[in-house]
Amino acid sequence: MLRKLLNDEVKARPRKNVVQSRNFPEMLEASIRRYQNRAITSAEVIQELINLAGEMREASRRGIDLGLSEDELAFYDALEVNDSAVQVLGDETLKTIAQELVKAIRGNVTIDWTEREAVRAKLRVMVKRLLKKYGYPPDKQEKATQTVLQQAETLCKDWAA
């Protein structure tokens, strides 16, 4: 029953941010699995769940603290997944890239872009150029591009409507 309640709560969170929508269910599942395997006590699993709830609240506040909209924060998180990019570029550059991504993708969104490979290819080129422009680590660009495109697909469903 606890698992259902928590899964429903995690699923009820906005799914606009693909990085967060991956991380929170994984953390929840790991805590429950450790509890079921008797690796942690009831008190410890409750503490982990309280910590998870705090992290979810903190993630919601990050956008405000960084001065980013919810959509910009989603792209920022997609770029920030790569630790070396954060170290090389820093927060300000990642914020700028995220803001430019939102602007560029919003300006190029079409209602059926998720179904047309030509539009995807255009967005892929646009993302790669933007990452290169700001010196995103070349060895991490492909993974970042994939994550950004997943994020774009998620947000474009709302934008195209």
Q: How do residues 73-119 score in pLDDT, each as one tens digit? A: 999 988 887 777 778 888 899 999 999 999 988 887 665 655 677 77
How distant, in Å, are the alpha carbons of 113, 118, 141, 142, 153 from that of 125?
A: 14, 11, 12, 11, 15
Q: Containing domain of residue 130, as a range?
A: 70-159
- Domain final residue, candidates 66, 88, 104: 66
Does residue 67 come out as left (phi exceeding 0), alpha (psi in the -120 to 50 range) or beta? left
Closest C-alpha among 61, 66, 80, 67 to residue 131? 80
**Contact call for residues 95 and 113 (beta carbons, < 8 A):** no
75 and 125 fall within a common domain:
yes
| Residue 50, pLDDT score | 84
Report d(CA 41, CA 26) in Å as an integer: 19
Contacts (Cβ under 8 Å, ≥6 apart) of 148: 75, 78, 79, 101, 127
34 and 87 fall within a common domain:
no
| Residue 23, pLDDT score | 79
78 and 155 fall within a common domain:
yes
pLDDT in tens, 40-80: 998 998 888 888 888 878 887 888 999 999 899 999 988 88
The total number of structural domains in the chain stands at 2
| Residue 11, pLDDT score | 57
- Domain final residue, candidates 22, 51, 66: 66
Contacts (Cβ under 8 Å, ≥6 apart) of 122: 108
The DSSP H or E segment spanning 128 is helix 117-133
For residue 150 the two structure tokens come to 């997943």
pLDDT in tens, 26-38: 888 888 899 899 9
Report d(CA 127, CA 105) in Å as an integer: 9
35 and 112 fall within a common domain:
no
Phi, psi (deg, nearest 5) at residue 100 = -70, -35
119 and 86 fall within a common domain:
yes
